[in-house]
Structure 1
Amino acid sequence: MRSQATGHFPQVRFSDARKWLYNPILKKRFANRPEERVRLQYVEFLLHQTTVSPNRIGFEAPVKTESAENTLRADLVIYDRDMAPYVLIECKSGRIKLNAKTAEQTARYNRTLQADFLMITNGTDDFWYQCDGQKISPLQNHPFDLKPQETEPVNPTDYWIKRGFVDTSLTEPITESAGKFLNSVFAPPEPADITYLNLPEDISTFSLDHFYRIYKSDTGDSLALSLIADSSNQTVLSAVLNQDGQNRGVLWVPLAKIFSTASPEAIRLTPGGRSVIQFPEVARSLMTAPSRSNIKKLVNHLINLFD
């Protein structure tokens, strides 16, 4: 099934010129690794959409193997109200395709733990199983009780700041506009259209690695779009063009300039080289009045900037 964590983002903290992942339950920071991102994304789902108490979410739970010398650690264990293992969750990188082998690994962990349910996730797909003695049966949905949800939840601006999309140095009007823009960009998605991109470090002194929303154009090209904050207290609009499965261009422009400068300059990097271009006024106006339809129009204008 499509992962329940889609559209949830881990909290981040900036320190020592690095972006760290922040665990809101353990109150600790961790290195920004793919498996940790997936794990904390699922924690966000549990905290925001289910009735699971934070006190019943366990991390790195030790699991004895058949070999007495070895102890493995489960990524997540959800306990019931009697603090007995209820769900065992294993988190894999989004680059790993889930299959029977990864499911077998989780089942081995559970021989000792004896949880009622098993799940493996790569942040894109969740595979659920129910355990009854030695019998393991696939499930089509998770076993958690959900909180009442609005049809289309709107995240407050502080949500996007804590997750590294917007920095704290922006003025309040720009911050509010950024929040509205992100709520439109990351509205409940179609399958597989949110991803974390790792871009080459030598592209810019500003790190462009983050979660992006992927949009398909009428021509078949794709554009990844996001706002990204970094440790330098700056936020940029970043767009990555993909053609025929290959990233063919990157464009970025400081968010503060978009909202405060008449003709802001953007940096464009393509196979033809690096250049400075004008960010069009029509794109500025679409950003200041975000909606699903305006975001799609913005995407088309940004794709044209790569011609």
Structure 2
Amino acid sequence: MQALNFPKYSFRIKNSQNRHYIFDGIRKKFVLLQPEEWVRQHVVHFLVFTRNYPKSLINVEKQLLVNKMKKRYDVVVFNPDGSIFLLVECKAPGVTIDQSTFDQIARYNYELQSNYLMVTNGMEHYYCQMDHANEKYTFLKDIPDFSR
């Protein structure tokens, strides 16, 4: 897999039947290593090992309903009270982040009401802070460290 615009992390990777799998410490299982999963695992490591987010508050690849349609978010970080602190949308490195990507995370966040958003393809990262009361968002240079 290609190098991404994240710090270097150590991953557990195995080969089975000529397919590569990467260990997901949140789901506690090996998952098929595809380009988007490579980005997702870098995000999780970034949150845990660089930003000090507790693993216990991170959820990966869970279903949600958006306009009565089943969708899956990539990564969510919860606040200790159960509200959502951060919603992350991951794309494969070869996928250009464009308006449709921001529209997708906005639809998900309409349901989830996260305080912060992150969109990444592993090479480019975008961060936003939400102002739900005024239905606005502000782009940030980075996401905050976890400090609770």
Contact map agreement 1:10 1:44 (CA 8 A) in 2: no
- Describe the SS at the equivalent of 1:25: coil
User: Counterpart in 2 of 1:256?
Assistant: none
User: Counterpart in 1 of 2:40?
Assistant: 39
CA distance in 2 between counterparts of 1:58 and 1:32 reads: 18
Q: What amino acid is aligned across from residue 49 of structure 1 in structure 2?
A: T
Q: Map 1:104-183; keep pairs closer than 5 Å.
A: 104-133=103-132, 134-145=135-146
User: Counterpart in 1 of 2:53?
Assistant: 52
User: Counterpart in 1 of 2:87?
Assistant: 88
Q: How far 1:100 moved relative to its partner? A: 2.2
Unaligned runs of 5+ in 2: none
- Structure 2 length-normalised TM: 0.86
Task: Provide the aligned C-alpha RMSD in A.
Answer: 1.9
Q: Map 1:266-305; keep pairs closer than 5 Å.
A: none
Identity in percent:
29
Q: How far 1:106 moved relative to its partner? A: 0.5
Q: How far 1:63 moved relative to its partner? A: 2.3
- Describe the SS at the equivalent of 2:145: coil
- Describe the SS at the equivalent of 1:64: strand
Contact map agreement 1:130 1:137 (CA 8 A) in 2: yes
**Alignment length, in residue pairs?**
142
Higher RCO (C-alpha under 8 Å, 6+ residues apart):
2
CA distance in 2 between counterparts of 1:135 and 1:44 reads: 29
Contact map agreement 2:21 2:33 (CA 8 A) in 1: yes
* Larger Rg over CA atoms: 1
- Spell out, residue by residue over 1:199-239, the C-alpha distance to the aligned partner (whole angstroms, 9 max, x if none): xxxxxxxxxxxxxxxxxxxxxxxxxxxxxxxxxxxxxxxxx
Which structure is higher in helix share? 1
CA distance in 2 between counterparts of 1:9 and 1:102 reads: 28
Unaligned runs of 5+ in 1: 147-307
Q: Map 1:230-245; keep pairs closer than 5 Å.
A: none
- Structure 1 length-normalised TM: 0.43
- Spell out, residue by residue over 1:240-299, the C-alpha distance to the aligned partner (whole angstroms, 9 max, x if none): xxxxxxxxxxxxxxxxxxxxxxxxxxxxxxxxxxxxxxxxxxxxxxxxxxxxxxxxxxxx
Contact map agreement 1:88 1:117 (CA 8 A) in 2: yes
CA distance in 2 between counterparts of 1:137 and 1:38 reads: 24
- Describe the SS at the equivalent of 1:110: helix
Q: How far 1:65 moved relative to its partner? A: 1.2
